[in-house]
């Protein structure tokens, strides 16, 4: 059986994906894990650092690919979807959905979709880039598990 990480019972990362940056953040927030990084129903206390950890995972994964001589355009090159969609019958929509649900590039988007009713966005106008800050709505709870 493979390791999986869930947020509110939605598998938010691929099978056997266990980014150290996310594990470190969960531990910082008080999550207790066993030696295999397994944990159950840990309530996230701060959402923004979790999003930042997942964003760092995306950046790290992208850099890993680039260091192995993948061209930047090939990392987000979806032309294979169009070239091979007929192998699955009417598989174009299915293939696009598979990429969006399983691709590391979309981890934060899928994570936020899974908790869409439990968070709110605030703008940080002190930053010259007007950064979005993600916060758990008052009275709402977000739980993560990994096993």
Q: For residue range 39-93, list pLDDT tens digits in order.
A: 999 999 999 999 999 999 999 988 877 777 665 555 566 777 777 666 666 677 8
Supply angle C-alpha 106, 79, 13, rounded to 5: 20
Q: Is the pLDDT of residue 133 over 90?
A: yes
Neighbours of 108 (CB within 10 A): 19
Q: What is the pLDDT of residue 138?
A: 98
Distance of CA 144 to the CA centre of its chain: 12
- Predicted pLDDT of residue 103: 80
- Report the distance separating Cα 127 and Cα 107, nearest Å: 24
pLDDT band at 32 (very low <50, low <70, confident <90, very high): very high
Residue 18 token pair:
């266990």
Question: Which pLDDT does position 61 carry in this prediction?
Answer: 86
pLDDT at 75: 54
Pairing mode of beta strands 10-11, 5-7: antiparallel
Kindly report the pTM of this predicted structure: 0.84
The pLDDT of residue 92: 77
């Amino acid at each position: 059986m493979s390791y999986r990480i869930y947020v509110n019972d939605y598998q938010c990362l691929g099978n056997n994906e266990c980014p150290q940056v996310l594990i470190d953040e969960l531990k910082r927030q008080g999550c207790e894990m066993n030696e295999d990084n397994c944990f159950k129903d840990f309530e996230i206390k701060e959402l923004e650092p979790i999003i930042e950890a997942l964003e760092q995972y995306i950046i790290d994964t992208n850099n890993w690919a680039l260091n192995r001589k993948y061209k930047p355009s090939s990392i987000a090159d979806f032309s294979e979807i169009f070239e091979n969609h007929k192998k699955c019958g009417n598989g174009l929509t299915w293939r696009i959905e598979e990429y969006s649900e399983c691709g590391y590039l979309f981890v934060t988007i899928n994570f936020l979709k899974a908790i869409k009713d439990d968070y709110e966005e605030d703008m940080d106008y002190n930053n010259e880039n007007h950064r979005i800050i993600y916060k758990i709505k008052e009275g709402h709870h977000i739980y993560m598990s990994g096993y």
